[in-house]
Amino acid sequence: MAVSANRLELLQIADAVAREKAIDRGIVIAAMEDAIQKAARSRYGSETEVRAEINPKTGEMRLSRLLLVVDLIDNDSTQISLDDAKKRNPAAQLGDYIAEPLPPLEYGRIAAQSAKQVIVQKVREAERDRQYQEYKDRIGDIVNGIVKRVEYGSVIVDLGRGEAIIRRDEMLPREVFRNGDRVRAYIFDVRRETRGPQIFLSRTHPQFMAKLFAQEVPEIYDGIVEIKAVARDPGSRARAALHEKKLMCRLDRLRHRIKKAEASVHAPLLANPTAAGTGSRQRSR
- Segment 225-284, tens digit of pLDDT: 777 776 666 656 666 676 666 545 555 555 666 666 655 555 433 333 333 333 443 433
Instruction: Give me the residues paired with residue 80 across strands.
Output: 69
pLDDT at residue 185 is higher than 70? yes
pLDDT band at residue 75 under the 50/70/90 scheme: confident
Q: Are 242 and 280 in contact (CB under 8 A)?
A: yes
CA-only gyration radius of the chain, Å:
30
In angstroms, the CA 35 to CA 27 distance is 12
Q: From its phi and psi, is residue 205 left (phi > 0), alpha (psi between -120 and 50) or beta?
A: beta
- Higher pLDDT pick, 197 / 7: 197
At 189, which helix (H) or strand (E)?
strand 182-193
Output the pTM of the full model: 0.56
pLDDT one-digit tens code per residue, 90-116: 888 888 888 888 887 665 555 556 667
At 84, which helix (H) or strand (E)?
helix 82-88
What topology does CATH give the domain 206-284? GMP Synthetase; Chain A, domain 3 (3.30.300)
Instruction: Check residue 277 and give its pLDDT.
Output: 37
Sign of CA dihedral 115, 117, 121, 127: positive
**Does the structural domain 142-202 have CATH classification 1.20.120.350?**
no
Q: Is 46 exposed, middle or buried (0-12, 13-18, 19+ CB in 10 A)?
A: exposed
Instruction: Check residue 201 and give its pLDDT.
Output: 94
Residue 187's nearest CA partner among 207, 171, 172, 161 is 207
Q: Are 221 and 257 in contact (CB under 8 A)?
A: no
Query: Hey, what amino acid is at 83?
Result: D
pLDDT band at residue 23 under the 50/70/90 scheme: confident
What topology does CATH give the domain 7-133? N Utilization Substance Protein A; Chain:P; domain 4 (3.30.1480)
Cα-Cα-Cα-Cα torsion 168, 169, 175, 179, nearest 10 degrees, comes to -30
Instruction: Check residue 109 and give its pLDDT.
Output: 57
Q: Are 201 and 190 in contact (CB under 8 A)?
A: no
Domain with CATH 3.30.1480.10 in the chain: 7-133
- Higher pLDDT pick, 276 / 54: 54
3-class DSSP assignment, residue 59: coil
pLDDT at residue 171 is higher than 60? yes
Instruction: Check residue 147 and give its pLDDT.
Output: 93
Domain with CATH 2.40.50.140 in the chain: 142-202
Sign of CA dihedral 109, 112, 116, 118: positive
3-class DSSP assignment, residue 277: coil
At 94, give phi and psi (nearest 5°). -60, 135
Domain with CATH 3.30.300.20 in the chain: 206-284
